[in-house]
């Protein structure tokens, strides 16, 4: 894992999305709620092909959870965008493929839940709208990273795409001894695991009630 020490503050690239992203950042955990409610209670235009829907939905949920786990293993206990906690710029593992693996993971897992609710068309809508919202959030977060890490972040930003994963030309060398311990991840991610369990329960309940 490459460790890049924080540099003198730089000037963040201007973006009209930054003020919006700053506001959305404060409520980012709640942005999924209206989409989840719609997916749970909307019963029209469903695609009732369980043999296709359930494998795809579960696979998306699992892929999102796995990507989130891998990202947190590298990131550790401190968010990269907390000024008082981010001591290094993480650029290895999934962060070498895409700059926002946690948001990609969350949106992927949520899309799996919507698919399980037999609304694949709404999964596409959710990905697009949530992607737009988190794009603004990420633009705001990058002003913090730019201020903290200066040219090191500029170099990282030039190498790694923001949303669409791309294999790195040269993957950073990683030291597994620096990875965040699994037991700490499981404690930290209790909320995320509970959300996944809740999504599965809601999808099963919706399927059950639909056939009563």
In the chain, which stretches have pLDDT less than 50?
1-13, 83-84
- From CA 116, how far away is CA 54, in angstroms rounded? 6
pLDDT at 202: 95
- From CA 41, how far away is CA 187, in angstroms rounded? 31
Q: Which residue in the block uniquely carries the two structure tokens 């404690």?
A: 187
112, 60 contact by CB (below 8 A):
yes
Domains of the chain: 17-210 (1.20.120)
pLDDT at 178: 86
- From CA 179, how far away is CA 197, in angstroms rounded? 26
pLDDT at 76: 82
pLDDT at 19: 94
Token reading at 17: 């999305």
- pTM for this model (two decimals): 0.88
pLDDT at 86: 61
pLDDT at 5: 40
- From CA 75, how far away is CA 73, in angstroms rounded? 6
- From CA 4, how far away is CA 146, in angstroms rounded? 13
pLDDT at 14: 53
pLDDT at 3: 44
Q: Which residue in the block uniquely carries the two structure tokens 């056939």?
A: 211
Token reading at 156: 């990282």
Q: Which residue in the block uniquely carries the two structure tokens 């989409």?
A: 35
């Amino acid at each position: 894992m490459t460790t890049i020490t924080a540099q003198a503050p730089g000037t963040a690239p201007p973006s009209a999305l930054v003020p919006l992203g700053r506001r959305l950042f404060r409520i980012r955990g709640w942005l999924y709620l209206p989409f989840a409610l719609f997916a749970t209670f909307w019963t029209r235009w469903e695609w009732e092909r369980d043999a296709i829907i359930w494998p795809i939905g579960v696979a998306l949920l699992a892929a999102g959870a796995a990507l989130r786990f891998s990202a947190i293993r590298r990131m550790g206990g401190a968010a990269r965008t907390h000024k008082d906690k981010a001591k290094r710029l993480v650029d290895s593992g999934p962060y070498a493929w895409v700059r926002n693996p946690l948001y990609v993971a969350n949106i992927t897992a949520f899309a799996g839940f919507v698919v399980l609710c037999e609304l694949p068309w709404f999964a596409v809508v959710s990905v697009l709208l949530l992607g737009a919202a988190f794009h603004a959030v990420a633009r705001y977060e990058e002003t913090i990273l730019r201020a903290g890490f200066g040219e090191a972040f500029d170099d990282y930003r030039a190498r790694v795409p923001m949303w669409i994963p791309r294999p790195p030309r040269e993957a950073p060398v990683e030291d597994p001894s620096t990875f965040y311990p699994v037991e700490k991840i499981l404690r930290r991610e209790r909320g995320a695991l509970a959300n996944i369990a809740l999504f599965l329960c809601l999808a099963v309940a919706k399927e059950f009630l639909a056939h009563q």
